[in-house]
Every structure is written in structure tokens, then in C-alpha cells.
Amino acid sequence: MTRRWAVSLRERQRRQVRAEIQRAAFQLFARSGFDAVTTEQIAAAAGVSTSTYFRHVRSKEDLLLDPVRDGGTGIAALLEARPAAEPADVALSHAILDRSTALGGEDLAQWRAAFATAPHLLDRVALVPPDHRARLVELTARRMGADPTTDNRPGLLVHLMLAAAEFGYLRWLRGADEPGDSLPVCVEAALTAVVDDRWRIPR
């Protein structure tokens, strides 16, 4: 029990340090521009040493891209928790939207302002890594009563849903200079285009 608690405490501390580094980076990027900010400046602003910085951060680019990836990693758990009778397309749409809605607050606005200074990274926005996509296909196939090795519909649905969500993220990120719609509104509008009865027709 003590060991489990200690591991949990270390993980919380690790996340806190990384969040502080990320927050400092977003503020510096928004103020000075992504390319003009050095790792040493980020470390100093976060109140950590350069060695501590590199223990938590692989690259400056990851500081901007990880919020999307981190948000995407919880989608499978949310999909699994959706009502069993819910159609696959509806359940997946809700899971993605719920995860996007969880990303909120002042940090989200700061992240958007920071990303505006690094438009060259927009093409690298990806909601989930390949291993998480495979899990989503598995869960989606289960809801569809389909075998993903012989039926391409589960994989196609996951691919289209994630592509739609990423489009929503990009639309929101590119509108940093305009009030516009919120991130959840942009994501929901994109997901709605994929939700359709055709995914519910049994084979």
C-alpha cells in the first residue's frame, strides 16, 4: 500500500513539474515566439534546472504537440465506459468530444496563443498514437459486432472520427486571432459530419 502510494506521489510530482514547464513555455512562446525561445529560458521560467527540463521534455515541439496527444490517450477508456447499447459511431463521437471538453481553462487559451507562433507544427497535430488507434478499432468493432480483420468498417470509422476531430482542433488552433467558436464546438461540428446510420447497418 505504501509503495503504491509512493509511486502515485512520484507520478503526481512528475506531472506537476511537467505542467509547470509547459505553462512557462506557453507563456514565453506566446510573448516572444516559438523560434526565439530557448530551452534554457523555459527551464529558468519554470524554476527548474536544464537537466530537470530534459528529464521531462524531449523537445520544444513536444511541449506544443503533447496536449493533443495527452488528451487523446483517454479516449479509449471513455469509449469503453459509454452505454453498451450505444451505436459505435455515437459512442466514439461522445468519447472524443468528452475528452476534448476536458481540456479547458486558462492553460488552453495560452496553449492556443503559443501554437499560433509555430504554424509549421500544425501538420503534426495527431489526436492519438498508432497503438491507441488499434485499441479504438478493437472497441469499435466490438460495438459493431464485427471482426476488424475481415470487416473494414470499424477501422474506417475510427480513422474518419479521429480525422474529423483533428480537423476540429486545427480549425480552432488556426483561429487564435479571432474569438470564434470554442474547441469543443469546433470538434463537435466536425464529428457530426461522420455520425450516420450507415455505420449501424449489420452485415
In DSSP notation, 88-130 reads HHHHHHHHHHHHHHHS-SHHHHHHHHHHTT-GGGGGG--SS-H
8-57: CATH topology:
Arc Repressor Mutant, subunit A (1.10.10)
Q: What is the pLDDT of residue 71?
A: 66
Q: What is the pLDDT of residue 120?
A: 93
Domain 60-195 - what CATH class? mainly alpha
Determine the distance from the C-alpha atom of residue 58 to the mean position of all C-alpha atoms in its chain, rounded to a whole number: 17
Is 60-195 in the same CATH topology as 8-57?
no
Determine the distance from the C-alpha atom of residue 96 to the mean position of all C-alpha atoms in its chain, rounded to a whole number: 9
Q: What is the pLDDT of residue 49?
A: 95
What are the residue ranges spanned by the domains of the chain? 8-57, 60-195
pLDDT in tens, 130-163: 778 899 999 999 999 999 999 999 999 999 999 9
Instruction: Extract the residue ranges of the chain whose pLDDT is less than 70.
Output: 1-7, 71-72, 103-106, 176-179
Residue 44 half-sphere exposure toward CB, CA atoms < 13 A: 6
Q: What is the pLDDT of residue 72?
A: 67
**Which secondary-structure segment (H or E) carries 30?**
helix 2-32
Q: What is the pLDDT of residue 1?
A: 47
